[in-house]
Amino acid sequence: MKEQITKIARNAAVAARVLVTLSTSEKNRILEDMAHSLLKDQDAIIGANKKDLALAKKAKLSAALIDRLLLNEKRIAEMAEGLLNVSKLDDPVGTEIKSWDVPSGLRIHKVRVPIGVIAIIYESRPNVTSDCIGLCFKAGNSVILRGGGEALNSNIAIFKAIEKVVRVNNLPAGSVNLITTKDRKAIDILLKLNEYIDLVMPRGGEALIKKVVSLSKIPVIKHYKGICHVYVDDYADLNMAEKICLNAKVQRPGVCNAMECMLVHRDVAPRFLPLMIKKFKEAGVEIRGCLLTNKISREKIGKVTEKDFRTEYLDLVLSVKVVDSIDEAINHINTYGSHHSDSIVTDDENNAAQFLNKVDSACVYVNASTRFTDGGEFGMGAEIGISTDKLHARGPMALEELTTYKYVIYGNGQVRT
């Protein structure tokens, strides 16, 4: 297995040197072909996905995880549309970030270039396979994918549909790669191949990400958790707050930008919480509230714990806390949050500004759902992940974040004295 995975990484490194030479028009045409191939092979992809779903139900995975795994005609069409959208985006490769002259007469240009070889280790969602291939390819990178065993059949079917386009266009075999073994030792081997791989991105649960960080000899971009908050301020439009909070929790609870904790100012809690909790209950949400939340609620709810505040539920479960001030809300978010996405609902400009300035998260919202933290929603095309790191990328990672830069210097015979 070590020899096989090393060969994949070596081929990917060779392919990366070819991909950097492709023109934007060539990349866009190939991306369009990949999208059409997904649609053409949708019956095979759905058939493979049914096998994964049957195994997931047999293993008694949660409804939220099964939803992340599910593929149907609509979701495959969305995957194809994601590739087409990426083909329409500006190509960052070769663009000039800035340029300047220095006293020696040299002209210096700072120019975007591909990172090289990117390895992505992910779980559950098979649409990640096409999203990552599309974005890495447009940014001139070769990619090595290692998906979770629960989506193996789906990932293989998606990969086959895309890989045939790579072959037809005479691109190097290492341009796109999928590691198909379920053996977890494959990850251990992959993470030591820093001679060939330039960046690793884990997408999945906290245990996976911590394992990758602890073992990797390669730089890692990550997010550990998506513990997202919505704070309902004392100056909030409560009708707006109700819609935002319901959307942030219920619209798709099994994703990293779903709300996991709702904070409510004490002055509006008696008016806001009873109806809000009722609506959550009607949507099947289990509420775990602080003492005051339990006192205010007309519904029977659970008691929130310190552990709950640090938990990414990825399910229809919500922590609720009543706070005395915006300062307490901000302090709670910075203490228990994961620096992912947090929102304030308020009509007060000063409170909004204070929240934006003091909350240390990748994405901070005023009067909007945290569910918008997404490359597609940000106009970036399909994203490759959401980083809660501060170096080299933060928030939704799309094309620009999949490049680095180099300095191109022009002279006319200068030597240093």
Strand partners, 259: 228
- pLDDT for position 65: 83
| Pairwise CA distance, residues 371 & 74, whole Å | 20
- Which one, of 362, 377, 371, lies nearest residue 85 by Cα? 377
- Looking at the structure, tell me whether residues 271 and 323 fall in a common domain: yes
Does residue 63 lie within any of the structural domains? yes
Does residue 157 lie within any of the structural domains? yes
| Pairwise CA distance, residues 238 & 258, whole Å | 20
Q: How far is CA 129 from CA 46, 107, 382, in A?
A: 15, 41, 11
DSSP 103: T
- Looking at the structure, tell me whether residues 109 and 82 fall in a common domain: yes
- Looking at the structure, tell me whether residues 405 and 299 fall in a common domain: no
Does residue 377 lie within any of the structural domains? no
| Pairwise CA distance, residues 56 & 344, whole Å | 37
- Looking at the structure, tell me whether residues 242 and 196 fall in a common domain: no
Strand partners, 200: 119, 220
Q: Tell me the residue range of the domain where 352 lies.
A: 228-372
Number of domains the chain contains: 2
- Looking at the structure, tell me whether residues 216 and 243 fall in a common domain: no
- pLDDT for position 267: 98
Tell me the CATH number at 23: 3.40.605.10
- Looking at the structure, tell me whether residues 185 and 237 fall in a common domain: no
- pLDDT for position 208: 87
- pLDDT for position 74: 96
Q: What is the largest CA-CA distance in the chain?
A: 81
| Pairwise CA distance, residues 322 & 312, whole Å | 19
- Looking at the structure, tell me whether residues 204 and 277 fall in a common domain: no
Instruction: For the chain, list residues with pLDDT below 50.
Output: none
- Looking at the structure, tell me whether residues 17 and 153 fall in a common domain: yes
- Looking at the structure, tell me whether residues 185 and 235 fall in a common domain: no
Does residue 379 lie within any of the structural domains? no
- pLDDT for position 221: 92
CB 220 within 8 A of CB 213: yes
Does residue 383 lie within any of the structural domains? no
- pLDDT for position 81: 93
Sorted by sequence, the CB contacts under 8 Å of residue 312 that are 6+ apart come out as 206, 225, 226, 227, 256, 260, 338
CA quadruple 247, 252, 258, 261: dihedral sign: positive
Does residue 272 lie within any of the structural domains? yes
Residue holding tokens 């003091």? Answer: 358
- Looking at the structure, tell me whether residues 257 and 118 fall in a common domain: no
- pLDDT for position 390: 82
Does residue 380 lie within any of the structural domains? no
Q: Contacts by 164-170 with C-beta closer than 8 Å and gap 24+?
A: 164/37, 165/30, 165/33, 165/34, 165/37, 166/30, 168/33, 169/30, 169/33
- Looking at the structure, tell me whether residues 284 and 146 fall in a common domain: no
| Pairwise CA distance, residues 297 & 264, whole Å | 13
